[in-house]
Amino acid sequence: MMNRKTARAALRAMELELARSMKGLRIKGHPKPCYMSYLLRVREGYSVWGRYGSVFYSCPMDASTLHADLRVGSYRTDQTVDGRIGDEKESPAWHGWADGPEDLDPFILRYCFWRLTQSRHREALQDYYDKKAIALEERLIAEAPSLRKMNSKSRECSVGKLRGNLAEASDFVRRMSALFLKYPRIDDPYVQFKEILQTRLVVNSEGTRSIAQERFLQVKLYGGMLAPDGVRQISEQFFYVRNFDELPSEEELTEVIDFINRDLRELIAAEPMEPYAGPALFGGMAAGVLFHEAIGHRLEGERLLSRTEGRTFARKTGERVLPKGIDLFDDPSLARFNGQSLYGHYTMDDEGTPSERVHLIEDGVLRQFLTSRNGIPGQTGSNGHGRAAHERETMARMGNLIVSARNPLAPSELEERWMAEVERREQSFGLLVTEADSGETATSGDAYDFQAFQINPTAVYLVDRASGKRRRVRDVSFVGTPLAAIQGIMALGDDPVVDNSYCSAESGTLPVGTISPSALLRDIEVQRSTGKRRHAATLPLPPRH
């Protein structure tokens, strides 16, 4: 179990081994290390999931992982290429030393970092000479130093302990999952509960030494139901919070299970969506997914360094990229919004840099990018967004993405403008998207230099222009090009909502938060999503007794 004494002893062991490596890793005739950092992540926790009153899987999630960032040459020119985007596709030898010990004995930690550093040093030297060979064939992006120098930082947070335990979580999952027995038509329902307490220790050759800790709680309820045409419909509800007092009560979760049943029955009764292009009103969570996928990833700094990236906004600093009146921030230092905790909150990033509020887009004009310590053109240092998951290289990633309007509209005004646009387009209905749970985006400039994003909505309605009547549709996905979508935003609402979730990219899957109001889009293209057509079970659910 991690406590302040253990954390400080581990930090000291890391400092000693890093200093020894910086001094001793000298091979005559080869470039020496110019910078080194160590990151230790210690994770404590447990996960339980089950269905119909029984636990199917439960396990502790205790583990430690190690990362070493070793640069050879100089801050100006080290061994890294393309902002290290794409490095995760390899399986380098050092991955074998990225799993740390359960016992955080100082000597064992030094041993593990020693072995990891040896492997990373050999790789760095090889990459250094490979980079020289690449530079003979291709013109690399070298408008900024490979690595930005930073002032040393020292910060220690309080170190807590797990609040729950595996036995309590198992009892909770049994009680909640048994409630699905009330709805035998729902197939394969389950309930999952997780608590993760992560402690991160960072030291580097510039003198930084930091300890940070974050707690993550997750409750998931899931169910499916087969539509008449054989396409399986899914309804799931997630609760991502940072504190136990924010978890929904068992009475509230009982209502959520009732909602899942109603939602699934609506879905199987709904008609599949036909292709559509026209005005659409996105609710706050759906709008947040849109901003995250269409523009958020394109403002991550390393994408300006890679030869394989489309670099959508590389030369657009100071230019309008969103309609006037829209601001876009990213603020991992923000812990709560309207009383709700944010999943993307942290005090320091994985390089030991304090988190900062970054004003990305001001009144529709692009001002800056999210940055780690990798040097990108036009910005002078890290703004505390360097993040990575296990065995991935650090790059700038979103924390808490915040969308705001300078002149927001009330819901009634937004709907009025929406219907006016539908009428102007001489369409009989408009599209309403109230929920979306995921999306993906392609930022690569490979092949045909085509960039696109996709959103997977969970609640979509056709709204009749004349009567205002809603009709639900299913099997929907949105596709589009990012600039066309975001520049077609007509207005934003005054109803910001929080969407806590996880985001996957080149540096791994990380917790994030998004705060966005409703958004009215002039044009969105909808396609029917495809799914396997399945046969219903030959027999119904077995009797309980």
Backbone phi, psi, residue 426, to 5°: 60, 40
Tokens describing residue 541: 């659910």
User: Looking at the DSSP assignment, which residues form a beta bridge with residue 300?
Assistant: 370
pLDDT of residue 11: 97
Residue 390 reports pLDDT greater than 60: yes
In this prediction, residue 312 carries a pLDDT of 76
Q: What is the mean pLDDT of residues 60-78?
A: 96
Structure token pair of residue 288? 């947040």
Whether 22 and 71 have beta carbons less than 8 Å apart is answered as: no
pLDDT single digits (tens) 282-304: 998 999 999 998 899 999 999 99
Note the Cα 376 to chain centre separation in Å: 22
Q: Which DSSP helix (H) or strand (E) runs through 528? A: strand 519-528
Return the CATH number of the domain spanning residue range 4-212. Answer: 3.30.2290
* Residue 7 DSSP one-character state: H
Give the DSSP H/E element, type plus range, for residue 132.
Answer: helix 106-137
Smallest CA-to-CA distance from 141 within 257, 307, 319 is with 307
How many residues belong to the chain? 545
Q: What is the pLDDT of residues 164-218, one digit of tens each?
A: 999 999 999 999 999 999 999 999 999 999 999 999 999 999 999 999 999 999 9
472-to-111, 152, 270, 411 alpha-carbon distances in Å: 60, 56, 6, 20
Residue 510 to residue 490: CA distance in whole angstroms: 31
Q: Are 37 and 204 in contact (CB under 8 A)?
A: yes
**CA-angle at 289, arms to 492 and 419, nearest 5°:** 40
Confidence of residue 148 (pLDDT cuts 50, 70, 90): very high
CA angle 186, 187, 192 (to 5 degrees): 95
Which amino acid, residue 196?
A: I
**Between 351 and 88, whose confidence is greater?**
351
Q: What is the DSSP string of 407-442?
A: S-B-HHHHHHHHHHHHHHTT-SEEEEEEEEEEEEEE
First vs last C-alpha separation in the chain: 43
DSSP state of 533: B
User: In terms of C-beta density within 10 A (0-12 exposed, 13-18 middle, 19 or more buried), how is residue 86 classed?
Assistant: middle
Report the relative pairing of strands 452-464 and 232-241 from DSSP bridges. unpaired
Q: Tokens 């250094």 correspond to what residue?
A: 128
> Torsions phi, psi of 102, nearest 5?
-75, -35
Is the confidence at residue 365, as pLDDT, over 90?
yes
- 203 alpha-carbon distance from chain centroid: 25
Q: Which residue has the higher pLDDT, 85 or 168?
A: 168
Q: Which has the closest alpha carbon to 152: 375, 357, 13, 353?
A: 353
Mean pLDDT of the chain: 92
**pLDDT digits 0-9 by tens, 489-543:** 999 999 999 999 999 999 999 999 999 999 999 988 888 877 788 888 889 888 8
DSSP string, 301-336: GGGGT-TTB--TTTT-TTSB-S-TTEEEEE-TT--E
pLDDT tens across 450-462, in order? 466 677 888 999 9
Q: How many C-beta atoms lie closer than 10 Å to residue 115's C-beta?
A: 14
pLDDT grade for 448, boundaries at 50, 70 and 90: very low
Closest-CA residue to 351 (of 305, 311, 298, 397): 397
User: Highest mean pLDDT range out of 66-70, 309-313, 315-319?
Assistant: 66-70
Map out the domains of the chain as residue ranges: 4-212, 276-528
The closest of 94, 90, 48, 47 to 67, measured between CA atoms, is 94
> How confident is the model over 110-132, as pLDDT tens digits?
999 999 999 999 999 999 999 98
291, two tokens: 């901003």
Query: Which tokens hold the place of 450?
Result: 């085509």
pLDDT, residue 307, reads 82
- Tell me which amino acid residue 382 is: S
Predicted confidence (pLDDT) at residue 88 exceeds the cutoff of 70? no
pLDDT category at 428 given cuts 50, 70, 90 is very high
